[in-house]
Structure 1
Amino acid sequence: MNGRHFDALERLWPLHGVPIPGSPLDVAALFGRRAPLVLEIGSGMGEATLAMAGADPGRDYLAVEVHTPGVANLLAMVEQHGLTNVRVGFGDALELVRHMLPPASLDAVHAFFPDPWPKSRHHKRRLIQPEHVALLRSRLAPGGVFRCATDWTEYAEAMLETLAADPELLNEHDGYAPRLAERPVTKFEQRALDAGREIRDLSFRRR
C-alpha cells in the first residue's frame, strides 16, 4: 500500500469501515438514514462502487473486499468525492451476510467479476454456487435483484445454470442480460476485453 492508502485507513476506517466478523448491523445507524441497501461483493479497487453509488444517491452501498489496498483506495475515493452513501466492509462477504444482515434487508446484490477459480478442483471456492446463492437470495427483499458479471465463459454458464435453478429467483432476461448501463468499465474489465474475453452479465429478481 502507498502512503495515501495508509492515511485513508487510519483516518477513514473508523468513520466508514465495517469489520467482519462483527455484530449484527443496524443499517439505519450505519448510514444515518433508512434507504434501500445494495451489497457489493468483491469491490476490488472500488471504481465500480464509486461510480454506481455516486450516480444513485437514493440508495446506500455496502462494499465488501478482502484485500486491504482495495478497501483503502475506496475509502480515499469516497472522501475525495464526498459520498455519504458508501460503507466499506473488510473480510468475508458471506460471513457478513450470514451473521450480520437480517433476511430481506437488501435491495440488490452485486457480484461483478468474482474469482472464477478456473481449475476444477477449486470450483468449490466459487461464490456462485447453490448454497451461497440461497443464502444471498434470502437477504434480498421480494423484488430485489441479484446481478453478476464475469469474463470467463465456463463460469458464466455455471452462474446461469445455478441462478436459474433457484426456485425463488426469476431471470429478468432470456439467458444473459444486457450490460448494466450503470456499471462502469473498470481497468480489470478493460484488460479482459483487450484480451478478447467476452463479458457476460446476469440479472435475476427475487420472486
Structure 2
Amino acid sequence: MFPDGEGPAADPAGSHFERRIRSFQPRRSRVTASQGDALRRLWSRWGLDIDGSRVLDLDELLGGRPVVLEIGFGMGEATAQMAAADLDTGILAVDVHTPGQGNLLGLAERAGLDNVRVANGDAIILLREMLAPESLDGLRVYFPDPWPKKRHHKRRLIQPEFLTLAASRLKPGAVLHCATDWEPYAEQMLEVLTEHPDFTNTVADGGYAPRPGFRPLTRFEGQGLDKGHVVHDLLFARTGKPSGSTG
C-alpha cells in the first residue's frame, strides 16, 4: 500500500460498482526500490486511479493530443517505445500490475515522455464511467490473458459486449488493434470482430493483419515466439454510429 497521493490504490473503485466476471487478476507483487520511487514521485502527476467517480477531460490530461487507450501494458517497455516514436499522440495506459506501473513511469521520466499517463484499475469501469463517447482515437489490446481453459473463456476480454462498449468510446474511423500469440483466442477475436456491426476489418481479404511497424516486439511476444507460437495482429476500424449506446 502507498500513502494517499503517493501511488496507486489497492482497489480504486471499491464496492461502488457491480461485481462481474473479471478479465484480469489484480497483481500487487513485489515492487523494486526504483519502481516504488517512481510511483511515489510521479503518481500524482502522471497516474490516476480508476474509481469511476468522474469523466476524464482527455484534452487537459494529455495536452490536447489525440489519445489512444492501451489496455494491459505489462512492464511498459513497448508502451514507452511507442510513446517516444509518436510524441504527438497521448497514450492512456491501463494495467493492474503495480511493478509494471512503476516501471512505465520510470521509463517515461527517463525518456522525457510527457505523453504517457498510467491508469490503475478496471479498464471496463474506465471505459464505461470515465471516458466520454467518441473520445478515443485508438484502442490497443496486446497479448491479453488468453484464459486457455474452456471454462474460463467467458473471462476473455474481447467479447461482443466489450466491443460494443469500446465502439461507443472510439471516434469514427478509430482503430482497435489487438495482438495475441494464442491461436484459439486469435480465432475468437477475428470471429467476434468480423461479426460486430460497429467494426470493419482494415485488411481487404478479411483476415489477420501483418504486424504494423509502430508496434514493437514485446516481452510476451518474444516468449511466445520462443515457444513456436504464431503472433496474429487484428486491426479493425470503428464504423459510423455505434449500434449500442452506453453514454
Q: TM-score, normalised by structure 1?
A: 0.98
SS in 1 for 2:228: coil
Displacement of 1:4: 0.2
Query: Which position in structure 2 is the counterpart of 1:57?
Result: 87
Structure with the higher fraction of residues in helix conformation: 1
What's the CA shift string for 1:93-145, capped at 9, x where partnerless?
A: 11100100011001100000000001111111111000001101111100100
Q: 1:76 is matched by which residue type in structure 2?
A: G
Q: Which residue of 1 aligns with 2:17?
A: none
Residue 204 of structure 1 deviates from its aligned partner by 0.2
Q: Which residue of 1 aligns with 2:228?
A: 196
**Aligned Cα root-mean-square deviation (Å):** 0.8
How big is the shift at 1:21? 1.6
| Structure 1 residue 53, shift from structure 2 partner | 1.0
Paired AA for residue 43 in structure 2: W
| In structure 2, C-alpha distance between the alignment counterparts of 1:123 and 1:137, rounded to whole Å | 22
- 1:110-121 matches, within 5 Å, as 110-121=140-151
Give the aligned partner of residue 74 of structure 1.
Answer: 104
> Which residue among 57, 64, 85 is the counterpart of 1:34?
64
CA distance in 2: counterparts of 1:36 and 1:185, whole angstroms: 23
SS in 1 for 2:177: strand
Q: Which has the larger radius of gyration?
A: 2
Q: What is the match of residue 108 of structure 1?
A: 138
Offset of residue 18 of structure 1: 1.3
Cα shift readout 1:35-63 (whole Å, capped 9, x = no counterpart): 21100000111011101111111111000
Counterpart code for 1:198? V
Post-superposition, which runs of at least 4 consecutive aligned residues in structure 1 deviate over 4 A? Answer: none
Question: Identity across aligned pairs (percent)?
Answer: 55
Uncovered stretches (5+) of structure 2, i.e. residues with no partner: 1-30, 240-247
Deviations 1:12-50 (A, max 9, x none): 00010010124210112212x212110000011101110
Taking the aligned partners of 2:83 and 2:69, their CA distance within structure 1 comes to: 11
Amino acid at match of 2:146: P
The counterpart of 1:25, out of the listed 47, 56, 63, is 56
Q: Secondary structure at the match of 2:161?
A: helix
2:180 to 150, 172, 178: 150
- Name the CA distance, whole Å, in 1 between partners of 2:174 and 2:107: 27
Structure 2 counterpart of 1:183, from 197, 200, 215: 215
**What's the counterpart of residue 38 of structure 2?**
8
Q: What is the rounded CA distance, in whole Å, between the counterparts of 2:173 and 2:36 in structure 1? A: 40
| Matched residue count | 206
Q: For residues 29 and 92 of structure 1, what CA distance do their matches in structure 2 show?
A: 22
Question: Which of these residues, 113, 122, 129, is aligned with residue 83 of structure 1?
Answer: 113
Give the Cα–Cα distance (whole angstroms) in 1 for the partners of residues 217 and 78 of structure 2: 8
> How far does the alpha carbon of each residue in 1:58-106 deviate from its partner, in whole angstroms, 9 at most, with x for none?
1110000011011110001000100010000011111100100011001
Q: Distance in 2 between matches of 1:159 and 1:188?
A: 18
Consecutive unaligned residues of structure 1, counting only runs of 5 or more, are: none
How many angstroms does 1:154 deviate by? 0.2
Q: Displacement, 1:170?
A: 0.7
